[in-house]
């Protein structure tokens, strides 16, 4: 894909975090993806290149770059149901990595875990007998394959003393990862007023788990679990379909059916999150269709070469007013191939005022590129030159400008 890029123009935007616009236009758009028939690609093109979905909320993300190639109500908070168990697992995986708990540790199934998440609860459970102990490794299998609420509560109690305390750990971990909207009231995803996430956050969480804890990712492709007299089959109907090898489904009445799934084809990995589906069967049909569209319809597009200046950011109180910005190496984005000639809006985003000292190589901004199809890529930008603190006159002038015309900074 080749791009025709207009010259960079410094135009400042009103707002807390901005800036400049870099207009871009996709000039040449199509080529064939390996192992995808021309007929399928042509069908997608005739349909306008933009898929629809039965899900109330959806997002399709490129796992390598984090680029969003399709979204629908992606930032709407909704109950994530058992998909929030991915955050439960994030807390547990971090504790394992820190040596706070081990896979062969025995975990007690308390009366509370048994009553609220086990057989008496009537919810998805491993059906572990009350007051027995099982290894953490087994409970993790139960959480992933069977979505065991008894296992989730027992692990939460083992790590934090109570499920309520564990929910606070989940919120803290969400903020550490960078999820700013998610809130949690329990470790299971059962109905709770505080159990809310967006599908964008769920995709970002899945991407985090794959990158931060690759040693545990294979757990999500486990097809079945034999426990005592029970044989549990993985509740994710997409596992094994279209290259899907994880992650987690969820369902409660208030949220409908949902899934967080990841698939790998020909070296490209996509993450799909669907929420608010009416039927369980929709997980497979909608998921397979959107993955098929994604792998057939997206490709990389080069925006800037290595060492090419992308733009500038306004500096407060420095020995220069602007710092030039570059990527680390060439800057490419992920875009749908169809429709052709998409218009792109590129914004340089940063927190203002940008203060000195700034060292060469410091990350100071983000290049956010949005297409007319709502595809979005965000690329870190770094200072290509050092900016030292300016003198008292410079700081005074910048302070005055910031107080009177703050949007200019």
Q: Which two tokens stand for residue 281?
A: 């069967």
Write the DSSP symbol of residue 310: -
- Name the 3-class secondary structure at 27: coil
Q: Which two tokens stand for residue 163?
A: 């499920």
Instruction: State the DSSP H helix or E strand holding residue 349, giving kind and residue range, or none if neither.
Output: strand 343-349
Q: 357: cis peptide before it, omega within 30°?
A: yes
The residues near 345 (Cβ < 8 Å, ≥ 6 apart) are 21, 23, 24, 369, 370
Determine the longest span between alpha carbons in the chain, in angstroms: 79
> Residues of 153-177 as b/e, b for ≥16 C-beta within 10 angstroms?
bbbbbbbbeebeebbebbbebbeeb
Beta bridge partners of 325: 311, 383
Give catalytic residue positions: 82, 85, 147
Q: Which two tokens stand for residue 139?
A: 């409970």
CA dihedral 217, 221, 227, 231 (to 10 degrees): 170
Measured between alpha carbons, how far is residue 150 from residues 125, 154, 232, 403 in Å?
A: 6, 6, 14, 56
Q: Which two tokens stand for residue 233?
A: 């089959």
């Amino acid at each position: 894909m080749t791009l025709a890029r207009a010259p960079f123009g410094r135009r400042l935007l009103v707002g807390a975090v901005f800036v400049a616009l870099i207009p871009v236009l996709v000039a040449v758009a199509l080529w064939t993806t390996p192992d995808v028939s021309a007929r399928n690609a042509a069908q997608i093109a005739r349909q306008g290149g933009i898929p629809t979905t039965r899900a109330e909320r959806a997002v399709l993300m490129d796992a390598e770059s984090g680029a969003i190639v399709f979204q629908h109500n992606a930032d709407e908070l909704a109950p994530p149901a058992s998909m929030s168990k991915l955050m439960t697992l994030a807390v547990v995986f971090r504790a394992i990595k820190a040596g706070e708990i081990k896979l062969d540790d025995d975990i007690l199934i308390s009366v509370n875990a048994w009553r609220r998440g086990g057989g008496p609860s009537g919810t998805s459970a491993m059906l572990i007998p009350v007051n027995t102990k099982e290894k953490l490794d087994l409970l993790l299998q139960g959480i992933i394959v069977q979505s065991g609420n008894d296992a989730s509560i027992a692990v939460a109690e083992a790590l934090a003393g109570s499920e309520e305390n564990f929910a606070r750990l989940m919120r803290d971990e969400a903020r550490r990862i960078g999820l700013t909207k998610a809130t949690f009231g329990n470790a299971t995803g059962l109905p709770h007023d505080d159990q809310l996430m967006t599908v964008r956050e769920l995709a970002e969480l899945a991407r985090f788990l794959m990158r931060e804890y690759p040693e545990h990712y294979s757990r999500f492709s486990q097809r079945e679990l034999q426990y005592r007299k029970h044989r549990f089959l993985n509740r994710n109907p997409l596992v094994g379909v279209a290259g899907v090898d994880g992650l987690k489904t969820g369902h409660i009445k208030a949220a409908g059916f949902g899934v967080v799934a990841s698939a790998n084809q020909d070296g490209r990995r996509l993450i799909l999150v669907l929420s608010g589906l009416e039927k369980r069967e929709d997980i497979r049909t909608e998921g397979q269709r959107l993955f098929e569209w994604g792998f057939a319809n997206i490709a990389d597009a080069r925006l800037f070469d290595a060492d090419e200046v992308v733009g500038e950011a306004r500096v407060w109180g420095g020995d220069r007013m602007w710092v030039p910005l570059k990527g680390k190496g060439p800057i490419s984005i992920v875009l749908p191939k169809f429709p052709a000639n998409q218009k792109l809006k590129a914004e340089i985003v940063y927190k203002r005022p940008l203060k000195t000292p700034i060292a060469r190589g410091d990350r100071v901004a983000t290049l956010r590129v949005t297409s007319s199809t709502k595809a979005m890529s965000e690329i870190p930008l770094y200072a290509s030159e050092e900016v030292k603190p300016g003198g008292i006159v410079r700081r005074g002038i910048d302070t005055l400008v910031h107080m009177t015309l703050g949007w200019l900074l």
